[in-house]
Chain A
Amino acid sequence: MRAERGAVPTAWRRHRDRILPQLVIWPPLVVACAYVLWFSAWTVWVSFTRSTLLPDYRWAGLRNYTAMLANQNFQLAYVNLFIYGVLFVLLTLTVGLLLAVLIDQRVRGENVFRALFLYPIAVSFVVTGTVWGWLLNPSIGIQKLVHDLGWTGFRFDWLVDRNRAIYCIVIAGVWQASGFAMALFLAGLRSVDADLLKAAEIDGASAWRTYRRVVFPTIGPIFAIVLVMLLQFAIKTYDLVVALTAGGPGLSTTVPTIVIYDFMFQRGELARGSAAAVMLLLSLAVVLLPYGLYRRWRTRQDAIHAG
């Protein structure tokens, strides 16, 4: 069909057919790789320099790292991240798994429930944080409602309580992410081998026993994925805190991402902010590397069993 267009010399066309794809393939691939490598390398490098408001490429050794590690705000941010991270991940996993198991009991209106549990993932952290900020605000939110209903002794003022404000972030975070966990767990539950379930039923195993012995082991890999994704969410949390508490009251809900932003753009301490960013990346690596190794190990196991 194309041969009819004989006006184009074949040699030139062959040449063009070889060159043109190269010109199209490479730019987006190079950009996608280069920005990851170059940006990371640049931030790592700056973290070892004396940069303040502007990049200053004189070597500073580990000074920025030791300064950040000794910085009280940064320490506090990590303590907060730890409390938030542990509670958020545990609660989200529990709620997600519970809802997935319940929905898996052949309930009516499954689609409606699923849609309701999952819609928060479509909403921005800014919206989530703002709305929960209103609900949890003692002077206009849930506490006020209960007071107006007559129970005036009721207290639910975590949002303005230095020791409890972090739990407000947990509530909003679980609200946003548990549907996501539910969806993945449900996909896992649905992929369990039907024959195995039937076998367990014939053996007269109780529902709980079936779940423990057949279903949960099968969704192990999905559990690992959800766990890693949630830990990753937690470590990267920024917008939610900004919208809900702005790190307050005081510094009681500040997290590493907020401290980094503060150093980079408010205090004009580029090098220290970068050092903190690199440490955030290392925290992520602590979560992701074991998972990467686990995946590797599993693939190898599968290969051995298949062979």
Chain B
Amino acid sequence: MPASLRRLAIYVVLLLFAGFYLVPLVVVMLNSVRGTQDILRTSVIGWPRPFDWGNFAHTWSSYCISEHCNGIQPYFWNSVEMTIPATILSTLLGALNGYSLALWRFRGDNWVFGIITLGVFLPEQMKLVPWVIVLRDLGLFNTVAGLILIHTVQGLSFTTLFCRNYYVSIPPDLLRAARIDGAGFFRIFWRIVLPLSPPILIVTVIWQFTGIWNEYLYGVTFSAGDHQPITAALIALSAHISEAPDYGAQNAAVLLAALPTLLVYLFGGRYFVRGLTAGAVK
């Protein structure tokens, strides 16, 4: 095959796949500004005729989800209230864990690290009922605080893994010198380790934010009504689709629900890939 034809074939295949990946996003974006009648008359794939900009306001503040007619707004804010603290807490504690595991070796540290890593693989179903008991005993059932607790503790497995694997590559001589100078645990963390950390902390924050924002199972199990995060609200909303199809508003809801993590990906895509490789390869 001539070289130019080969190049052409490469681009054709790449463009076809690009189309496959783009279709769902484009469809949701277009439908979010289409009227439900328009969608029902044609299909979910089509150009808005006419543009219906009212979907967003409707879906945000007055759409009815399981008898609450406040739109997706409360659920969206629940997700924000849950994701931001849980991301910050799990990242900070994970950095601390990674630091003590990687640089303050103690007897059995490999065992501790091994057990924490197992947490990454443990299926959610093994932890569901124990969490029910913990949340009930703490009185955190059906609260955002309960979900923050869950995501912080479970996030520790990932964040510790990321940070520990990053910190082991800090040259020991650097720490030895600091220790000879009389620096202690916190001074070394604050003055040496933390300034070296931004690359891994960005990866960890992005990873945690995306994971927690997108999580569904815990949200739906441990909260009800308008205490639920946005993922659970989306499912509740689709469940009503057969009774009262309102595709325009639903597409707007899906777009709004996906927007935060899409934005994170758009601005931090580089770190995203690095996180995937760091988490998987090490």
Contact = CB atoms under 8 A, between A and B. Distances in A.
Contacts of B119: 32, 35-36
Contact of B23 (A29, A103, A105, A135): A135
Contact of A288 (B28, B121, B156): B121
Nearest to A22: B185
11 contacts: A21-B100, A32-B115, A36-B116, A118-B272, A130-B250, A140-B40, A140-B44, A148-B43, A175-B20, A265-B221, A288-B121
A131 B27 contact: yes
A151 interface: no
B96 interface: yes
Given A135-B24, A148-B42, A277-B125, A127 B276 contact: no
Nearest to A46: B129
A170 to B, nearest CB: 14
B213 A124 contact: yes
A245 B51 CA distance: 30
Contacts of B185: 17, 20-21, 24-25
A116 B247 contact: no
Interface string B17-49: 110111111011000000000011011111000
Interface residues of A, number: 89
B11 A107 contact: yes
A117 B7 CA distance: 19
B257 A124 contact: yes
A135 B13 CA distance: 22
A189 to B, nearest CB: 13
A238 B39 contact: no
Given A29-B97, A36-B118, A270-B129, 15 more contacts: A17-B185, A21-B100, A21-B184, A21-B186, A32-B153, A32-B156, A36-B122, A127-B234, A131-B254, A135-B44, A142-B43, A144-B42, A148-B43, A187-B277, A187-B281
Interface stretch (B60-68, B140-148, B197-205, B258-266): B258-266
Residue in A36, A117, A133 whose Cβ sees the most chain B Cβ within 10 Å: A36
Interface in B238-282: 238, 247, 250, 254, 257-258, 261-262, 264-265, 269, 272-273, 276-277, 280-281
A205 interface: no
Given A145-B46, A184-B277, A265-B221, A123 B258 contact: yes
Interface in B167-183: 182
Nearest to A235: B123
> Nearest 4 CB-CB pairs, A to B?
A124-B214, A21-B185, A122-B265, A144-B43
A85 interface: no
Residue in A99, A116, A130, A226 whose Cβ sees the most chain B Cβ within 10 Å: A130
Contact of A183 (B28, B42, B44, B277): B277
A124 B272 contact: no
A242 B234 CA distance: 11
Interface string A66-105: 0000000000000000000000000000010011001101
Contacts of B231: 124, 126, 239
B247 A229 contact: no
Given A21-B184, A243-B238, A126 B281 contact: no
Interface of A: 2, 17, 20-21, 24-25, 28-29, 31-33, 35-40, 42-43, 46, 55, 95, 98-99, 102-103, 105, 107, 113-128, 130-135, 137, 140-142, 144-145, 148, 175, 179-180, 183-184, 187, 222, 225-226, 229, 232, 235-236, 238-239, 242-243, 257, 260-261, 264-265, 270, 273-274, 276-278, 280-281, 284, 288
Interface in B184-243: 184-186, 210, 213-217, 221, 231, 234-235, 238
Contacts of B138: none
Contacts of A264: 125, 128-129
